[in-house]
Each structure stands twice: as C-alpha cells, then as structure tokens.
C-alpha cells in the first residue's frame, strides 16, 4: 500500500540574488515571463533531498538515487511544500508552491552503490579565462572540468542555513550535504563559459559515498547532448563528482537551458 509521508515545509530562499546568473534577479527574470528571481533548481532539489535522508537515514547519503525535474519556479520567501509517497521502496516527491506543482521526482535506496571507475571520467582543468558561450562551448563529446570547491566550517553551516536544512546528521557526523554536489554540477556550466541568464531544468544523481564537510569537490563532465527545443538551447552532461581528487561522490546527469528564448523585452 502506498504510504504518504509527512509534508516537509520550507520557507524558500533565493541564495543566488547576487549571482552572475541574472535569472535569479527579479528585474531580469520578469523579462523572461517570471514573477521574480528564481530560487535555484539545485536548492529546490536540496529541499527534496531532505525527505529520503529523513526516511532512510545516513544510508541514503552513501548510496541513494534521486532525480528531479523543475516544472515551475519557486520564488524567494514563498512556502515550498515537499510532498512524498512511498510505494514499493520508491519515494515519489513533489514540490508545491502557490498551489502549483513546481518540481517532481523520485528517490530510492539501492542495495549497494554501483561501481564507477574514476578512470572512465577524464579530468580536465577549468579554463583560466572564460569566454562568452559559443557553438563549441558545449560541443557533444567534449570533457569539462570545474575549479575545486570546499565548504568547511562557517561555509558548511551557511549552506545548511541557506537551504533551511534542519536534520542534525550533517553537523553531528561532519557530513557534507548532497545538495553541494548539485552546486558543483552547476559550475560545469559557469566555470567554462560566460553565460547570460540560464535555467537548470533537471538532474539525476546516484550517490556513491558520503561527502565530508570540508572535502574539496570537483566535477569531471562530458557533454552528452546539445540541442534546440522550442527556441531554447539545451545542454546535457554526464559527470562524476569527486572529492579530494580520489573519491567518487556521485554520478550525475544534469540538464540546463543555457540560452533561453526571451519572452518579452
């Protein structure tokens, strides 16, 4: 029988108001037909991750699988309700705000993390100087890297505060929140080119081991698709996110509109 879990309610916070991506800026976002700056998709996904971690505990951080697609925006200061139903070992997760479905996905707990070889993912450095996005930036088959990032001490706590995470497991056990892995996946775009406003539209993430607070995290990403749909330019990435150059943390698929169609001037 399906089992409905308790609703997880979040006061959404736009962590990217000052970001280079002006889709999080109220004025620019309105030009694209939105009501205001978008709460980053990676942070909405972090809200979703609370549910499987609360349900399965630390095991999910070591080998959980989660996927999400973002349907409509979540806006700063509004309530986001994360609803979930468990059926046959799978959590169906939906995020509602303003009475609208904003994100949907699933989570599960495989019996073991799949074996992923570090050597199968080519390590390249992010460019020393970024150039404006062009036809060759996200060429299919191209390998991309990110500048290593570390969230330790106050930075780790600030992240938990920003995503309104209340589960004590991260502080108690010195663990890194898996939402940080999604932030690194966004850097696959940002560290490799200068973009205009852009939108993260979906992700799949298979966790492979627990992240530790203070790990130095980087991505090794391959462009698997680059196409136009309804006037938008999309790119898809297949990546391994690695801690300290040696430990695979997650195998991720990431989809973004890197050049959106403008709605109105």
Domain with residue 48: its CATH number is 3.10.129.10
Range of the domain at 64: 3-111+119-259
Range 84-100 average pLDDT: 97
Considering the domain boundaries, does residue 75 fall inside one? yes
Predicted TM-score of the model (pTM): 0.95
Length of the chain: 265
Q: Looking at the chain, list the stretches that DSSP marks H as alpha helix, in order from N- to C-terminal side.
A: 26-31, 41-56, 58-63, 154-162, 169-173, 179-190
Task: Assess contact for 254 and 200: CB atoms under 8 A.
Answer: yes
pLDDT in tens, 167-205: 999 999 999 999 999 999 999 999 999 999 999 999 999
- pLDDT tier at 72 (50, 70, 90 boundaries)? very high
Considering the domain boundaries, does residue 265 fall inside one? no
Backbone phi, psi, residue 71, to 5°: -95, -45
Range 107-135 average pLDDT: 95
Q: How far apart are CA 223 and CA 26, in angstroms?
A: 30
Q: How far apart are CA 244 and CA 214, in angstroms?
A: 10
> How many separate domains does the chain show?
1
Considering the domain boundaries, does residue 264 fall inside one? no
């Amino acid at each position: 029988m399906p089992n409905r879990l308790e609703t997880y309610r979040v006061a959404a916070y736009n962590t990217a108001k000052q970001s280079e991506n002006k889709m999080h800026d109220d004025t620019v976002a309105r030009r694209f037909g939105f009501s205001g700056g978008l709460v980053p998709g990676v942070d909405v996904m972090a809200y979703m991750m609370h549910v499987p971690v609360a349900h399965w505990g630390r095991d999910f951080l070591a080998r959980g699988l989660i996927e999400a697609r973002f349907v409509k925006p979540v806006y700063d200061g509004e309530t986001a309700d994360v609803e979930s139903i468990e059926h046959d070992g799978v959590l169906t997760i939906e995020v509602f705000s303003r009475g609208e479905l904003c994100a949907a996905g699933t989570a599960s707990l495989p019996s073991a993390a799949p074996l992923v070889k570090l050597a199968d993912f080519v390590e390249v450095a992010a460019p020393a100087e970024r150039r404006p996005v062009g036809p060759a930036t996200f060429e299919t088959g191209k390998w991309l890297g990110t500048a290593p990032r570390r969230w330790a001490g106050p930075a780790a706590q600030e992240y938990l505060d920003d995503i309104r995470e209340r589960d004590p497991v991260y502080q108690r056990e010195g663990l890194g929140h898996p939402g940080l892995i999604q932030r690194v996946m966004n850097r696959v775009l940002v560290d490799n080119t200068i973009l205009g406003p852009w939108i993260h539209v979906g992700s799949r993430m298979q966790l492979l081991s627990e992240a530790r607070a203070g790990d130095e995290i980087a991505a090794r990403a391959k462009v698997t698709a680059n196409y136009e749909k309804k006037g938008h330019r999309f790119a898809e990435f297949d990546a391994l996110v690695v801690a300290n150059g040696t430990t695979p943390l997650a195998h991720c698929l990431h989809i973004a509109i890197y050049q959106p169609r403008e709605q109105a001037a």
